Amino acid sequence: MIADKGGVRGEMQITIFGTGYVGLVLAAVTADAGHKVTCIDIDEKKVEGLRNGVVPIYEPGLEPLIVRNHAAGRLTFSTDARKGVAFGEIIFIAVGTPPEEDGSADLSHVLKVAATIGATMESDKIVVTKSTVPVGTADKVRARIEQEIAARGREDLTVDVASNPEFLKEGAAVLDCQKPDRIVIGVRRPGSLTEQMLRELYAPFNRNHEKIIVMDVRSAELTKYAANCLLATKISFMNEMANLAENLGADIEKVRLGIGSDPRIGYHFIYPGAGYGGSCFPKDVRALISMARDADYEPLIMKAVEGRNERQKRVIFDKIVARFGSGLSGRTFALWGLAFKPNTDDMREAPARAVLDALLAAGAKVRAYDPKAMDECRHIYGDRDGLVLCQSQEEALTGADALVVMTEWKEFLSPDFTYLRETLKEAVIFDGRNIYEPATIARHGLTLHAIGRTTEKAADA
């Protein structure tokens, strides 16, 4: 068994496999708290870039943390897995779990890391799954490590595997990691050295009040999915109500205020819009559906959540067709916002992509702008016919018939409405995030099509 060194520990040596979104944030924040952290990745170009301060994702506050702690020697990056295994008292697995065609999570990267740990470890280890993984993954990781240990004839080595799911919001991940609202730790034995070590690791982030919640491993694994799927459910429910409100002549934003004032409901995640996207909600909803089916349980609510969201992504395009007709050849649309949410460059399953794809397929031209996601858009779409990537929101308006807003970046909240009216050929705005007040838009001579709100036509129309 791993030796109990006793007492309250200070600096720890931490190894993190994976330099994606979760791994980099965890590495930067724990290094900034004084721990020695090494990140392992198989991508040599990515690792070399990180050593030179090139951070492959945009997340507010992340780059300076990485640069500062790397310069201080607390944070290193390597492709040498063997050295990484030897270095870490605690080894986090934070590699990707991309979805399979049936929605289930692909664990090949996780289990490959487990095999590497078992094949190279020379002392007892604590391994922690940080990636979002299906219930039962920690058991599979431990089995794979022990299989490799047995193959080497090293019965003297032991490993314990815990679950420590992340609850980070893209765009606020650094702050979420520094000041978490909860720290979930799943262990096989309550009060074990593994629990003690993880408590000590997170002690700097657990000072004001007790945030650590200890439970069994499988419950910890399910907690992550349950949290994300409940938030996705709130979003899809509000989108369902928004569409109904529109048909009934009600205003969903007033409904939102009416129900949000109930403390049992609250205001969080009840903003209607064009659907959710990103790396977590869509993938986790599908993965939970897959897990449920594997457990011979039909997840009716989750299926409805996913179905509502997929249809919601087409609502704005449907409004465009209702206004301009299905033949959009010869039409040009300014598109503000490509990322799935503000303060990130992440376009994975972004609702803006559904609208962009539909417009291009219908023969329209699109002039797109996003404050941070332009490089990601170039990577995804390349030199796509009909798509022009612009350097500013004003440039995107040039020659456009109408404006489509799909991400609620702050710089989009208070545009020059007079300039919009004079620049757009049709003086029409399609608001996929309900960031504009219909009456305000109408007073400026523009027509607004929003989500769950009666269309306000220009005052002079």
177 classed as catalytic = no
Burial class (CB in 10 A: 0-12, 13-18, 19+), 427: buried
| Residues in a beta bridge with 214 | 185
Give yes or no for a contact between 223 and 230, defined as CB atoms under 8 angstroms apart.
no
b/e code 391-424 from CB counts within 10 Å (16+ = b): eebeebbeebbbbbbbbbbeebeebebeebbebb
Within a 10 A sphere around the Cβ of 34, how many other Cβ atoms?
13
The one catalytic residue among 39, 229, 280, 377: 280
CA distances from 251 to 245, 317, 375, 444 (A): 6, 20, 37, 20
Backbone torsions φ then ψ of 412, nearest 5 degrees: -95, -10
| 3-state class (DSSP) for residue 182 | coil
b/e code 336-345 from CB counts within 10 Å (16+ = b): bbbbbbbbbb
- Helix 281-294 and helix 217-248: axis angle, to 10°? 120
Backbone torsions φ then ψ of 460, nearest 5 degrees: -100, 10
Give yes or no for a contact between 364 and 331, defined as CB atoms under 8 angstroms apart.
yes
H/E element holding 376? helix 374-381
Give yes or no for a contact between 326 and 336, defined as CB atoms under 8 angstroms apart.
no
d(CA 130, CA 117): 15
Catalytic residues: 280
